[in-house]
Amino acid sequence: MTTDSLFDVSQEIVLITGSSGQLGGEYAKIFLERGANVIGLDVRPSTDSDSLSVRYPKRYLFCASDVTVKASLQRALIKITSKFGIPTVLINNAAIDSPPSAPPEETGPFEDYPEASWDKVIDVNLKGVHLCCQVFGAAMAKAKKGSIVNISSIYGVVSPDQNLYAYRRNRGEVFYKPVAYSASKSGVLNLTRYLAVYWAKQNVRVNSLTIAGVFNNQEQAFLDAYCGRIPVGRMANVDEYNGSILYLSSKASCYMTGTNIVIDGGWTAI
């Protein structure tokens, strides 16, 4: 087996949730460039989705769907199967977080964190992964073939470093990294292990990829704090998780299941 055949994904049918986001769009491109059929799934298309539909009309399909609604995912599966067949790779990438511009009640002290904010984040980040695995993973298991990659975060492995946001508190704002994102991404890790064991005999591999922050023109004060905390001294570039995504989706990782790969510039080594 040559190196090329080890990492060959040209015969795969790849479903990427959260495809309209920064990383989802990047993952779609990397698979399309390597010959795979790709489905982007999100609540609405992005400019990237429209561009990919034009560039790869026969190999790219966008499905408007909500990962928190099982019936919506079941309709998407029918549409996907009629065009490409049952997905062979599922990248559970869809996730939300409280952005820096979130309302004060959402980024205040833990004791005051709103119940509605908790529900919204857990619904997308954890329930969404659960439902996508129920719908698409079950189809893979029935076909006895598939690789599922669940995207987690360093904040699912370790606690957020609240010191990163001291610059905001120093300028008079009340800001703490909220709890729900961490709880949801931690839950993804054990959901991954559960399904890896559950579907092992059905030839469906389930692994997680834990990633750190990606540069996206964040404000300089945050970048200074973040990059000063991370050993390699910078945030990830948008394409620096592509190799691991391809590895987990290809024959190169055929004996790997129930594993969490951490790519974080050394963050969790400290």
Query: Confidence band (pLDDT; 50, 70, 90) for 3?
Result: low
Average pLDDT value over all residues in the chain? 96
Query: Confidence band (pLDDT; 50, 70, 90) for 159?
Result: very high
pLDDT at 99 over 90: no
Which top CATH class is 3-100+119-157+179-217+237-265?
Answer: alpha beta
Average pLDDT over residues 75-84: 98
Q: Encode pLDDT of 229-239 as tens digits.
A: 999 999 999 99
How far is 214 from 151, CA to CA, in rounded Å? 13
* SS3 (DSSP) at 167: helix
pLDDT at 5 over 60: yes
The single residue listed with the structure tokens 């659960």 is 130
Around Cβ 27, how many Cβ atoms within 10 Å? 27
Instruction: Check: CB of residue 97 under 8 Å from CB of residue 23.
Output: no
Q: Given this model, what pLDDT does residue 1 score? A: 43
- Angle of the 115-122 helix axis to the 179-198 helix axis, nearest 10: 30
Q: Given this model, what pLDDT does residue 100 score? A: 65
pLDDT at 102 over 50: yes
Q: Given this model, what pLDDT does residue 179 score? A: 96
Q: Encode pLDDT of 180-220 as tens digits.
A: 999 999 999 999 999 999 999 999 999 999 999 999 999 99
Q: Encode pLDDT of 218-230 as tens digits.
A: 999 999 999 999 9
Percentage of residues in the chain with pLDDT exceeding 70? 99
How far is 122 from 95, CA to CA, in rounded Å? 9
Q: Which of 74-88, 91-105, 144-158, 219-233 has the lowest mean pLDDT?
A: 91-105
pLDDT at 153 over 70: yes
pLDDT at 101 over 90: no
Q: Given this model, what pLDDT does residue 216 score? A: 95
Domain chopping of the chain, boundaries: 3-100+119-157+179-217+237-265
Average pLDDT over residues 136-143: 98
Q: Where are the alpha helices (DSSP H) in the chain?
A: 3-6, 22-33, 47-55, 70-83, 115-122, 128-132, 138-143, 166-170, 179-198, 220-229, 242-249
Q: Which of 125-134, 169-178, 255-264 has the lowest mean pLDDT?
A: 169-178
Q: Which of 92-101, 159-168, 216-225 has the lowest mean pLDDT?
A: 92-101
